Chains A and B, each alone.
Chain A
Amino acid sequence: MKLKRKDLLGIEELDRSEIEQILSTAESFKEVSAREIKKVPTLRGKTVINLFYEPSTRTRTSFEIAAKRMSADAVNISVSTSSVTKGETLKDTAKNLEAMRPDCIVVRHSSSGTPQMLSKYVACSVVNAGDGAHEHPSQALLDMLTVKEKKGRIEGLKISIIGDITHSRVARSNIYGFTKLGAEVTVCGPPTMIPPGIEKLGCSVTTDMNDAIRGADVVMMLRIQMERQKESLFPSVREYSRLYGLDDARLNGAKNDVIILHPGPINRGVEISSEVADGPYSLILDQVTNGVAVRMAIFYMLLGGTREESHK
């Protein structure tokens, strides 16, 4: 099955059946990474460019490994050593990269809407690897895959997303994704970190962490993004940690089979304690493993074959 679109820009634009297709394709791709020879020839001769305007370990490596396991050639551009430092505009960079005929550009940028703009300039596929506080679709897909794998379903589950909702593209993509698949999403954080009107996306809102944890099947902790804290949204890291950090004591109020997710990188002792992050409920490293499979599925569905509806 093939996606009807050229690009993967966000979860908002996907319908439920497209999300389900990506997840089931990703489940099949997990097998490839479990082999001794972790490579299939599917995307031989395709070129993927990773264009990252923001630092990243997990996402960039994951996209690169996914492309390589599909036999595509992956090229990484880190902006600090590129012509961007000489003042080249994003549009010019994109046009020049496109002139080298890549099949896909994976882009991360601190400004929301960058991948959307880029997709208008280039004919190749564009995959959003995180744009500002807007969306991070591959992260949400790997989160959904991890939950589906552990719980066997997503429909009817209670998902609580806790932390700085305002600045979180992970939260936004996950709210879209999980609600489309029929889960109940609650967001929780200090009032200064919850954007007004977020409930219009179909989630409920609380500022009491105990409320968010009680009855939740999945607790997703978000990283406090120190680099985005331009004004002070909370008095001190210590106070934030006391009110909205997840530790063993806090976890006592949770269901027995709760699972803990975190998109990484984690701030140990700030939003999540080491005992919880390394504990039995944590699926943080499963998320990373699933990330490769999800990105392989994205490449397969965007780049494998021509863009048309399948009849099978």
Chain B
Amino acid sequence: MPWRDPLKTRVVMDEMAIERAIARIAHEILERNKGTDRLVLLGIPTRGYHLALRLQKKIEEIEKATVPAGAVDATLYRDDLGIKKTQPSLKKMEIPISIDGKVIVMVDDVLYTGRTIRAAMNALMDFGRPLAIKLAVLVDRGHRELPIKADYIGKNLPTSAKEGVKLHLKEVDGVNEVVVTEED
């Protein structure tokens, strides 16, 4: 369990809420895409990748078909590499099949400024020409800095820019929850 200050942290989604959101997003993806044909799920590491794997499993339960899932790392395409004081470490890039003509559903945990998604789209374009790119996020917290919009949203969460929104997943953090922290 990650450490946190109980006075400055509140849980906005618990395990069940996350589970329900994933189930609903899986249904929505299948409904709008009319099945699993041409679908590829690509998560943005670290937690978006694990969400993509969960979505893959959920779709398998509903549709009895396995959608290819992988990871698209946006690090090398970021626009803040020379600006931010920290340098992000490289994560994994795992494109399981050719993305030409496919419908890509990118999966991320929290949608905020939209800059990561921009970087991830540029990365994807270097791998081919998908038919379409869709975006699924567990939490949309607002404050976009680029004209980017999610197609599948687990929860809309109005926040202040001073707050931090974090998804914790069992696979990475040992617990399933979305927390909001007041940052000083």
Asked whether B76 is an interface residue with its Cβ less than 8 Å from the other chain, the reply is: yes
Given contacts A42-B76, A304-B82, A305-B82, contact A1 B89 (CB under 8 A): yes
Q: A28-B91, A42-B76 are in contact. Are A304 and B86 (CB under 8 A)?
A: no
Which residues of A (258-294) have their CB < 8 Å from a CB of B? none
Binding site for A on B (CB under 8 A): 73, 76-77, 81-82, 84-93, 122-123, 126-127
Given B73, B86, B90, B126, which contacts A39 in the complex, CB threshold below 8 Å?
B126
- Say yes or no: A312 contacts B89, CB within 8 Å: yes
A28 contacts across to B, CB distance below 8 A: 73, 90-93
With A39-B126, A305-B82 as contacts: A312 and B88 at CB distance below 8 Å: yes
Task: Chain B residues near A39: list those with CB within 8 A.
Answer: 126
- Contacting residues, chain A, for B127 (C-beta < 8 A): 35-37
Binary per-residue interface labels of chain A (2-44) against chain B in the complex, 1 for a CB within 8 Å, 0 otherwise: 1000000000000000000100110011011001110111100
Distance in angstroms from A31 CB to nearest chain B CB is 5
Beyond A40-B123, A310-B88, 15 extra complex contacts between A and B, CB < 8 Å: A1-B87, A25-B90, A28-B90, A28-B91, A36-B127, A37-B126, A37-B127, A40-B77, A41-B77, A41-B122, A304-B81, A304-B82, A305-B82, A305-B87, A312-B88
Min distance, Cβ A125 to any Cβ of chain B, angstroms: 14
CB distance from B37 to the nearest CB of A (A): 25
With both chains docked as a complex, state the minimum distance between the C-beta of B42 and any C-beta of chain A, in angstroms: 14
Contacts of A306 in B (CB 8 A): 82, 84-85
Residue ID in chain A nearest B79 by CB atoms = A41
**C-alpha gap A39/B77 in the complex (Å):** 11
Does A311 sit within 8 A of B, measured CB to CB?
yes
Query: Chain B residues with Cβ under 8 A from A41's Cβ?
Result: 76-77, 122
Smallest CB–CB gap between A34 and chain B, Å?
10
Does A185 count as interface, using CB distance less than 8 angstroms?
Answer: no
Contact A305 B86 (CB under 8 A): yes
How near does chain A come to B60, taking the closest CB pair, in angstroms? 27
**A35-B126, A39-B126, A41-B122 known; A308+B77 contact, CB < 8 A:** no
Is A301's beta carbon under 8 Å from chain B? yes
B84 adjacent to A305 (CB under 8 Å): yes
Contacts of B87 in A (CB 8 A): 1-2, 301, 304-305, 310
Q: Are A40 and B81 in contact (CB under 8 A)?
A: no
17 contacts between A and B (CB under 8 A): A28-B90, A28-B92, A28-B93, A35-B126, A36-B127, A39-B126, A40-B123, A40-B126, A300-B90, A304-B87, A305-B84, A305-B85, A305-B86, A305-B87, A306-B82, A310-B87, A312-B86
Distance between B141 CB and nearest chain A CB, rounded to angstroms: 20
Q: Is the CB of A308 within 8 A of B86?
A: yes
CB contacts under 8 Å to B, within A54-71, are: none
Residues from chain B with Cβ under 8 Å of A24 in the complex:
89
Contacts of A312 in B (CB 8 A): 86, 88-89
- Asked if B86 and A2 make an inter-chain contact with CB atoms under 8 angstroms apart, the answer reads yes
Chain A residues in 8 Å Cβ range of B73? 28
> Contact partner of B93 among A31, A37, A301, CB < 8 A?
A31
Say how far B109's CB is from chain A's closest CB, in angstroms. 15
Complex CA distance for A32 and B87, rounded to whole angstroms:
19
Residues of A within 8 A of B123 (CB): 40
Q: CA A81 – CA B10 in complex, angstroms?
A: 67
Chain A residues, Cβ within 8 Å of B89: 1, 21, 24-25, 310, 312
Contacts of A35 in B (CB 8 A): 126-127
Contact A42 B126 (CB under 8 A): no
B86 and A40 contacting across the interface, CB-CB below 8 Å: no
Contact B76–A310 (Cβ < 8 Å): no
Task: For the complex, give the distance between the alpha carbons of A2 and B90 in Å.
Answer: 11
Chain B residues whose CB sits within 8 angstroms of the CB of A32 once the complex forms: 76
Instruction: Indicate the member of B81, B88, B92, B127 with the most A CB atoms within 10 Å.
Output: B81
